[in-house]
């Protein structure tokens, strides 16, 4: 017997977020929390956010690159929700005073022009549904101490979602080779990591197909206009207050965030 429920897990995670408090893994107290139930927690958490006025603007993938999988010690990609409250306008510093222990990671971001409903979505079908491609940064902020979690914990926690920012340049998917698209990550001017789009599941469109197929199993389609973060290309980095972190891409241009 456990006194944990989906509702209690949602309340705990939202409390941690609101009070900027990290804590232990939920699976330590609720070992029976499996992956399917963790996605139910994630969906219930989204419903609470929507009830409080947020709207869904898309989805994010997590743990799609080896750099991220190795760092977090989990090799299964996952999906989570993006809402309008997570949008960080260009030029606005990371709101550190609202967050627990934010880190930033460079991502290739899609905006969909067409609906995508799995199962059976291939990378080619997925790419043909993309209207535009952007460089982006995701700000992640786990509600678990030291970003230490098992797969069901991080799924329940909406994959450490916090904020995201898009670069100023929109590129049509036919105008670049997404597997070869390179990214240099700089912290305070120094290159700390580099990757190409192939780091994300071999091709970022594979990640998009993965999201469409995984969500399709839960009866959810990706809608036109939705934003899709395809997953960190490199490990995430901390940003000191006032410090600038930039990701410079071959074709997608540069995107910058400043520590708050």
**CA dist., res. 251 & res. 183, Å (int):** 9
CB of residue 236 to ligand OOG, shortest distance in Å: 6
8 or 101: CB nearest Mg ion: 101
Is residue 153 part of the contact set for ligand OOG (CB under 6 A)? Answer: no
Is residue 57 part of the contact set for ligand OOG (CB under 6 A)? Answer: no
Size of the site for Mg ion (CB under 5 A): 2
At residue 221, the 3 state secondary structure works out as coil
Encode 150-175 in three state secondary structure: CHHHHHHCHHHEEEEEECCCCECHHH
Q: Per-residue contact track with Mg ion, 194 to 233, x per CB under 5 A? A: --------------------------------------x-
Q: Cis before residue 119, ω within 30 degrees of 0?
A: yes
Is residue 198 part of the contact set for ligand OOG (CB under 6 A)? Answer: no
Antiparallel, parallel or unpaired: β 56-62 and 227-229: parallel
- Partnered with residue 112 across adjacent β-strands are 130
Is residue 154 part of the contact set for ligand OOG (CB under 6 A)? Answer: yes
Query: Angle 6-19/35-51 helices, nearest 10 degrees?
Result: 60
The residue within the footprint of Mg ion, chosen from 138, 141, 181, 206 (CB under 5 A), is 138
77 or 232: CB nearest Mg ion: 232
DSSP string spanning 38-74?
HHHHHHHHHHHHHHTT--EEEEEEES-BHHHHHHHT-
Query: Are 228 and 79 in contact, with CB atoms under 8 Å apart?
Result: no
The residue within the footprint of ligand OOG, chosen from 106, 197, 204, 232 (CB under 6 A), is 232
Is residue 140 part of the contact set for ligand OOG (CB under 6 A)? Answer: yes
Stretch that binds ligand OOG, among 11-19, 57-65, 185-193, 250-258 (CB under 6 A): 57-65
Instruction: Using CB under 6 A, list all residues that contact ligand OOG.
Output: 60, 62-63, 68, 72, 105, 138, 140, 142, 147, 154, 159-160, 231-232
Instruction: Using CB under 5 A, list all residues that contact Mg ion.
Output: 138, 232
């Amino acid at each position: 017997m456990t006194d944990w429920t989906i509702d209690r897990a949602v309340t705990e995670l939202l409390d941690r977020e609101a009070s900027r408090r990290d804590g232990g893994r939920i699976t330590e107290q609720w070992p029976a929390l499996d992956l399917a139930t963790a996605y139910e927690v994630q969906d219930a958490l989204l419903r609470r956010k929507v009830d409080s006025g947020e709207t869904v603007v898309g989805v994010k993938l997590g743990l799609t690159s080896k750099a991220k999988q190795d760092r977090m010690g989990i090799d299964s990609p996952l999906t989570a929700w993006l809402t309008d409250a997570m949008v960080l306008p260009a030029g606005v510093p990371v709101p550190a005073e609202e967050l627990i222990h934010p880190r930033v990671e460079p991502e290739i971001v899609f905006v969909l022009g067409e609906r995508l409903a799995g199962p059976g979505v291939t990378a080619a079908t997925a790419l043909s549904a993309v209207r535009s491609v952007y460089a982006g940064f995701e700000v992640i902020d786990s509600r678990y101490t030291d970003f230490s979690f098992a797969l069901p914990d991080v799924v329940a926690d909406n994959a450490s979602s916090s904020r995201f920012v898009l670069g100023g340049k929109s590129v049509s998917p036919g105008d670049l080779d997404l597997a070869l698209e390179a990214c240099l990550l700089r912290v305070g001017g120094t290159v700390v990591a580099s990757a190409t789009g192939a780091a994300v599941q071999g091709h970022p469109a594979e990640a998009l197909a993965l999201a469409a197929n995984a969500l399709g199993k839960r009866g959810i389609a990706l809608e036109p206009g939705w934003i899709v973060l395809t997953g960190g290309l490199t490990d995430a980095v901390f940003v000191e207050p006032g410090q600038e972190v930039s990701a410079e891409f071959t074709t997608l241009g540069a995107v910058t965030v400043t520590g708050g």
